[in-house]
Each structure stands twice: as C-alpha cells, then as structure tokens.
C-alpha cells in the first residue's frame, strides 16, 4: 500500500502506516514497533526520527526553505517585526493591528523585574558566563510567579498569555542587567517609550549622563536579527524545551533548560565561536585559505558552516549577510573580519570538500559580525540568540501543554555495558 511501509525483521514482516505532512514529507509511524516485534529503532542523533507532529515551522533543508506558520522567512524579514513574528509563531496567526498593539503593550508592561531578583545578580561572580546567569534567572523568575509555574498544566495554561509576554519581555531585561553587572555598571531601567530592540540597547548602553540614541539603525538591525532567530523547528534547544515540557514542567523551567541546550558551540554557541575563529585567522595574518586547508584535513572546523537539516544555503544566513554589510556601512565601520568571512564563504562554496558534503553558511556565520558592529560583546552573543528564540520555545511548550494526549518523552537505548556481575565474587574486583 502507498500509505504504509513494511519492516522485515528476520523472517517476519511488520506493517506500519505512513504519516504524511502537508508539504509531502513522509514518516513511517513505528510507534507500535517494539510491542509488535520486540525490536526498537536505533537513530543516534535522531537524524531520521520525527519526535512530534508540529504546526509551527517548516524547513525544507534541501531547498533552503524556512516558513513560520506558512509564511516564508524572507517575507517576514522584509515586512514584519520581531514582536509581530513572535505573536505569529506563538498563536498561529498574524495579529490584527489591535491585537498586535495589545501584545506589545503587555510585553512593555512586563519589562521590569522584581526588586528581589536584583539581589540574585550579586551572587554571581563577575566572570560568570552570561548564559549560566540567564538560565538560572529564567528558572528563578518562575519562583516569583508561582501561579504561572505550578506544573499543573491547566493552571499554567490559564496564565499562558501573561507568562509568554512576560518571558519575551524579561529575558531582554535580564540579559541587559547581566551585561551591566559584569561591567560593574548600575542597572538601567527600561524606557516604555522605546520599541523592543531599542529598549534593549538603551538598557545595555545608556548612562545617566548619556542617554542611548540610535542614530545608525542599529535597533532595526537587531530587531531583524531577533526575528530571524524566532523559531527553527526541532533543533537541539527546542527539542530540549519539549522534552522538559513533556514531563509536565512549567514554561519557565522548560525555557531555562532550552538556554542550557543552546549554549553549546555546536548549536547557539557557534555565533561566539565564529568570531573567535575569524579573529584568530586575522591575528595569524591568514586570509582564510590556510584555515580552509586545516578544516579539510580535519584539524579545524569551519564554524558557522554546516547544518543537520540544511543541505543548501540557510535562508537566514543570506538575509543576515546582506544586513551585516548594510549595518557596517551605516556605522562607517570597516571590519576586516567581514572581508575574511566573505573570502571564507567564497572559497568554501567553490571547494570540493564543502560542496560534496553540502556545507553552506548557517545563521551564525554572519550574525556575530552584525552583533559586534552594534556593540554587543562576544560573550553576550548566545544570549542574543536566546532572546530571539524565546517565541519558538514558548510556542513549542504550548503545543505540548495543550495536547492532552502528549506522552512523556522517554527514548530507549541499546545497552552496551557489562553483563550481569556478582557483587560477592571477590575475584571480580
């Protein structure tokens, strides 16, 4: 049958239905495999495993397509804003003008954090990594809103609209406070007259004697950066959020776990690693050619290149590449790292090693150059990714929490350790 598939194990055949997504992707529904056959599938890294049915984002990695709720990322990047796209990702529809205004007002009204939380910052050493602080603070935030973080799904969902707006707002305030604390600078209160991204830059860079003014379009570029990170299907951090949510944990705990998963250099931490790589190449007087040679010989990894799903250009990288150039031009910055990045990109796109493995620039390749130009310190780059990804994590938590049939995520394993041993046998020690 066209809509079923057969797995043959030994001499026995087992039939399974095929589930089809609306874009034609097909999945063999093996949920009854173990019960029928005693066998499980082994798919380390989950490259062939669909962990859920989801209505939020669609990626076609072969064609370089990304859509949120059906809207192509290119259209959203050109016409939408971060908060409008956040609303779309979370609620499934573009908001009317009234709904968007109400959502923005709710986000604005939640921008301050409880005074008690200011003391938490005093407990961190000034060399603490901002991602460690962010993850702790987001989980602590739940403690200040026990009615929204009850781990009772009905109750947490009843407060969902408020907790979603609150998190989108406060993640930005916590990020800016982290930067100020690490610099030994006093905290700056949010300014309700400013838009989302500009308010963040104000909380980062305003001084009592020098109010931050965006004269170069930095806040628009930052808004675009955040929009481009809003969601990305079942990536490592989003899958982590869903995993934590599947056990019934509240939204605050789930997104805090998402921050931890994002931190690693193979995931969100790559944006920091790209700048470090470009700076090292520059310091060594290389134009990128030597580094490419090392990458091909397995001595180095070209950070910001390659993706588990995209086997074509990451559409977000294309948009960010152009935007970085515009921002640097607008700010009158001549960054040699941009020239090295462009050279690396050209060289890699023509080199057989990268072409054969379908390794293209991903979103992190140009995002660091953009953030650096805006004045964000490298250590904060992955935090910026987390602010952008918050809507996607929230939407995925909601999808799990609203599904009364969702089961706890609990993969199996193939055990390869010692066979049974006897504690009382002395000669086994």
Contact set with ligand ACO (CB under 6 A): 235, 266-268, 270, 295, 301-308, 357, 359, 362-364
Where helices occur in 123-265 by DSSP H, the ranges are 130-144, 153-158, 160-183, 196-205, 218-228, 236-246, 251-262
Return the number of other C-beta atoms located less than 10 Å from residue 18's C-beta.
Answer: 13
Q: Are the beta carbons of 286 and 379 closer than 8 angstroms? A: no
Query: Among residues 235 and 254, whose Cβ is nearest to ligand ACO?
Result: 235
Rounded CA separation 297/311 (Å): 21
Beta bridge partners of 19: 27
Does residue 129 have an active-site annotation?
no
Spatial contact of 188 and 180, defined as CB atoms under 8 Å apart? yes
CB of 29 to ligand ACO, least distance (A): 24
Measure the CA–CA gap between 278 and 370, rounded to whole angstroms.
Answer: 13
Q: Measured from the CB of residue 4, what is the shortest distance to ligand ACO in angstroms?
A: 29
**Cβ neighbour number for residue 75 with a 10 Å cutoff:** 11
Shortest Å distance, C-beta 273 to ligand ACO: 7
225 vs 305 by CB, closer to ligand ACO? 305
Closest to ligand ACO by CB, 174 or 302: 302
* Closer residue to ligand ACO in complex, CB, 293/308: 308
In the set 214, 223, 314, 364, the catalytic residue is 364
CB closer to ligand ACO, 102 vs 309: 309
Minimum distance between the CB of residue 305 and ligand ACO, rounded to whole angstroms?
A: 4
Which residue is listed with tokens 């074509």? 312
Catalytic pick among 43, 307, 335, 409: 307
Check if 120 is active-site: no
Q: Give the shortest CB-59-to-ligand ACO separation in angstroms.
A: 12
Phi, psi of 15 (to 5 degrees): -100, 140
- CB nearer ligand ACO, residue 249 or residue 272: 272
Contact between 270 and 422 (Cβ < 8 Å): no
First CA to last CA distance, the chain: 57
CA distance 191 to 111: 9
- Min separation Cβ 191 and ligand ACO, Å: 31
- Cβ pair 229, 385 in contact under 8 A: yes
Angle of helix 364-374 relative to helix 336-350, nearest 10 degrees, comes to: 170
Q: Which residues are catalytic?
A: 307, 364
């Amino acid at each position: 049958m066209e809509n079923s598939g057969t797995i043959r194990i030994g001499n026995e055949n087992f039939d399974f239905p095929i589930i089809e997504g609306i874009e034609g992707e097909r999945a063999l529904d093996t949920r009854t495999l173990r019960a029928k056959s005693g066998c499980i599938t082994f798919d380390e890294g989950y490259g062939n495993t669909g962990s859920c049915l989801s209505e939020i984002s669609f990626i076609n990695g072969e064609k370089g397509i990304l859509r949120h709720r059906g809207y192509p990322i290119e259209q959203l990047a050109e016409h939408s804003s971060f908060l409008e796209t956040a609303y779309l990702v979370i609620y499934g529809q573009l908001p009317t003008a009234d709904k968007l205004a109400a959502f923005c007002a709710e986000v604005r009204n939640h921008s301050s954090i409880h005074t008690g939380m200011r003391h938490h910052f005093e407990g961190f050493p000034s060399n603490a990594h901002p991602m460690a602080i962010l993850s702790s603070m987001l989980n602590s935030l739940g403690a200040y809103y026990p009615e929204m973080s009850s781990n009772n799904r009905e109750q947490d969902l009843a407060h969902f609209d408020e907790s979603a707006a609150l998190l989108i707002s406060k993640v930005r305030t916590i990020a800016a406070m982290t930067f100020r604390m690490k610099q030994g600078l006093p905290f700056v209160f949010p300014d309700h007259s400013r838009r989302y991204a500009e308010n963040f830059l104000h909380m980062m860079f305003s001084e009592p004697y020098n109010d931050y003014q965006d004269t170069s379009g930095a806040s628009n570029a930052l808004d675009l950066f955040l929009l481009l990170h809003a969601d990305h299907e079942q990536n490592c951090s989003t899958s982590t959020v869903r995993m934590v949510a599947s056990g019934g944990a509240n939204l605050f705990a789930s997104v805090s776990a998402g921050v931890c998963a994002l931190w690693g250099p193979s995931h969100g931490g790559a944006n920091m690693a790209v700048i470090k790589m470009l700076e090292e190449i520059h310091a060594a007087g290389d134009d990128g050619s030597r580094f490419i040679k090392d990458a091909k010989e397995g001595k180095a990894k070209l950070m910001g290149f390659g993706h588990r799903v995209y086997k074509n250009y990451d559409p977000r990288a294309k948009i960010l590449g152009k935007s970085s150039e515009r921002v640097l031009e607008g700010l009158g910055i001549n960054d040699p790292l941009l020239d090295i990045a462009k050279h690396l990109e050209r060289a890699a796109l023509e080199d057989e090693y990268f072409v054969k493995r379908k390794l293209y620039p991903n979103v992190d390749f140009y995002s660091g150059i953009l953030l650096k130009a805006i004045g964000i310190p490298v250590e904060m780059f992955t935090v910026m990714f987390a602010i952008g990804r918050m809507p996607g994590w929230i939407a995925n938590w909601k999808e799990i929490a609203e599904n009364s049939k969702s089961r706890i995520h609990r993969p199996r394993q193939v055990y390869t350790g010692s066979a049974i041993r006897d504690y009382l046998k002395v000669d086994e020690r």
